[in-house]
Amino acid sequence: MKKLILQMALFALIGIPLYAGVHRYIYTHLRRPLTNLMREAVEKASRHQPYGRVIVGDSVARQLFNDRNQKRSRYFHLTTNAATTLMGHYILLMEYLKRNPTEEIVVLLHPYSLMDNLDREFTANYVVGMFYRKAYQPYITAYAEGQIKNCVWWFVPVLLRDFPELCTINYQTVNPKPFWTDNYLSPLSLEYFGLLRQACRERGITLRVVAPPLSAHLADLDYSFTKKQVEENGLSDCFAGYFDFIYLPTSRFADELHPKSEFLDEARRRVGLDWEKPAGEPEKSE
């Protein structure tokens, strides 16, 4: 028994620190951690770097507006991915607005991203582990907290936020779909769009929700329920024009959502944002 206790103590003293050190080396020098995208977005949002316009959005938005074309852009790019949810986008924007004034916020989201209700495969990694902490508690609503704590192991991604690959919790198996329709605004999205709209009104900021070009194979989907939700929740002003979708041939997409690299310039133009600085306008340094 004493030998077993000694072995356990040695493992705790040597094995765990050794694993942590090797892990940090691998994820610092050899590969990017799963949540590195979110960590970079949080760090960007905390900078004092005022832009007159800001854009957030999912992975399609990040394809179009990212670090590679930031210096040419009139917008500050805080694009991430769909797993961020409206809660995550809201937190990033509130953190940015703490330090920076702005005049316009664009939320660029594929209709698929509107449905996220903290019920996706990487919700634990991208949202719970990154944002369920004391610093962001004022931004977390009772509904969002309930969705997080529907999983009895909700504390695991919080404890493992520096080791996200060890957390395999899948919130798809925890939180059921709130509606059985093809398209909808999730209760979480509705709540945080309302909060974002209110915050923008208080600051005199224009809020626009914009859709990227969609694959033609989605043209037959019915968005009537989503449109009704927008109207009933008083969001028609910021969703103006959202449902006037532009469809491009399916062959131009790498999957159901993302344009192929050779068609990104076209997709970027079709979004309809006056984003690119004219030649000769000074670039903002990062």
- C-beta separation of 155 from 85 below 8 A: no
Q: Is residue 24 part of a domain?
A: no
Is 6 domain-assigned? no
Residue 240 is assigned to a structural domain of this protein: yes
CB atoms near residue 228 (< 10 Å): 12
Full residue range of the structural domain in which residue 179 is found: 33-271
The answer to whether 188 touches 143, Cβ cutoff 8 Å, is: yes
Q: Is residue 158 assigned to a domain?
A: yes
Strand locations in the chain (E):
53-57, 75-79, 104-108, 206-210, 214-215, 247-248
Predicted TM-score (pTM) of this structure? 0.86
The pair of three-digit structure tokens given for residue 13, joined into one six-digit string: 């003293």
Which of the pair, 103 or 12, is modelled with greater confidence? Answer: 103
Closest CA relative to residue 174, chosen from 157, 154, 150: 150
The reported pLDDT for the residue numbered 163 is 80
Point out the least confidently predicted range of 31-35, 73-77, 262-266. Answer: 31-35
**In Å, how far are 12, 17, 116, 149 from 165, measured between CA atoms?**
21, 17, 22, 20
What is the pLDDT at residue 257? 94
Instruction: Answer yes or no: is 282 within a domain.
Output: no
Question: Residue 244: how many CB atoms within 10 A of its CB?
Answer: 8
In this predicted structure, the answer to whether residue 270 has a pLDDT above a threshold of 90 is yes
Q: How confident is the model at residue 6 (pLDDT cuts 50, 70, 90)?
A: low
Query: If we measure between CA atoms, which residue out of 132, 160, 135, 157 comes closest to residue 145?
Result: 132
281 found inside a domain: no
Residue range 76-124, pLDDT digits in tens = 999 999 889 999 999 999 999 999 999 999 999 999 999 999 999 889 9
How many structural domains compose the chain? 1
CATH code where residue 108 lies: 3.40.50
∠ CA 253-259-265, nearest 5°, is 135
For residue range 187-246, what is the model confidence (pLDDT) as tens digits? 999 999 999 999 999 999 999 999 999 999 999 999 999 999 999 999 999 999 999 999
Residue 12 forms part of a structural domain:
no
